[in-house]
Amino acid sequence: MKSLTLQAPAKINVFLKVKNKRKDGFHNIKTIFQRINLSDTLEFTLTKTGRIRLTSTLPTLPLGSKNLVYQAAEQLRLMYGVKNGIDIHIDKKIPVAAGLAGGSTNAATTLIGLNKIWQLGISKHTMIEHARRLGSDVPFFLEHCSWAMGTARGDQIEPLDIGSRFWHILVVPRKKITSGQVYQGLNLQLTKSVDNANILIQHLKNKDLRNIGRYILNDLESAIVQIAPSLQRLKERIKLLSGSGVMISGSGPAVFGLAKNQKDAEQFKSVLSRYYKRVYAIKTL
C-alpha cells in the first residue's frame, strides 16, 4: 500500500464532570463523547526519504513537532524502527483549538493510517497506549463508535450503546482559549457533586430533547465564560432559536445547541451565519 486517505471526525462533549485534580497535574473527569460529521481528511503517501513531512490546507497550522500528527508518526517511526518516510496532507475543516478535538482526531487517524501503510501490525490494546501518550482525547477516536464514556483523564474509553442520532447547531467564535487557562480558573468547590451521567444516557437513548437539555453538563463552563464572557451571550442567542439545551463543548469556545431535525439545524445556521463565520449544522456520526 503506497497511499491511503482517511476521514478524521470531530467530537463534542455532551457531559463533562470534573472529579478532582490528580497528582500528575491532570484532572479526573467523567465525560460523554459524541462523534460528529465535521471531519478533516488525511492523505498518507509512503516515501523512501525516511522523513515525516506534513502539509495542510490551513496556512497557520504547525507542521513540525508541535503538531500531534507529527508526534504520532514520530512515535511509531522510532518505536518500530521504520525506515520508510511518510507524506501526510491534512485537509483541515475542523476549527483549531475549539473544544472539538481536531488535533486529537488527526493524531488517532495517523496511528490508524500508519499502522496500515507501514504494515506495523499493532494490536488495538497497544494502539490505545500510543494514543494515551499523545493526549487524553485521542483514545476515543480509536473506538469507531458514535458515543462513549471517558473516565480517568478522559482516556479510559467505554463505548456506549445509545443508538440515537441527533442534529445540532454548532458555532465556533474566534476566541483563543486554552485548556490550561480553563482548568487553572476552575473552582472545584463550585461544581455540582451530583453525577447525572446515567440519567442523561437514558434520555439520549429515548431521544427526549427536553430532558437531554436539562441534563447536559460541562463543569468547565463557568471558568470558560470568565475568560470569554461573550460566550454566555452566544449561548443565550442559540437558546432563543432552539428552545432546547445549549452548551460549550470541552474547553471551548465551540458552542452547540440541540435541534429537532436537520431542517431546524439548517434554519438556525442560516440565522447565526449573519453574525458568525464558523457556523455548522452537524449530526451524530
According to DSSP H, which parts of 19-154 are helical? Answer: 68-79, 102-117, 124-134
d(CA 199, CA 215): 8
Pairing outcome for strands 167-171 and 27-47: unpaired
Whole-angstrom distance, CA of residue 73 vs CA of residue 161:
32
Tell which residue, 55, 41, 74, 36, has the closest CA to residue 284. Answer: 36
| Catalytic annotation, pick one of 40, 137, 155, 219 | 137
**Candidate list 11, 17, 30, 269, residue with the active-site label:** 11
236 to 6, 40, 42: CA distances (angstroms): 37, 29, 36
Tally of CB atoms within 10 A around 132: 15
Q: Does the annotation mark 176 as catalytic?
A: no
Q: Is 137 a catalytic residue?
A: yes
Catalytic site positions: 11, 137
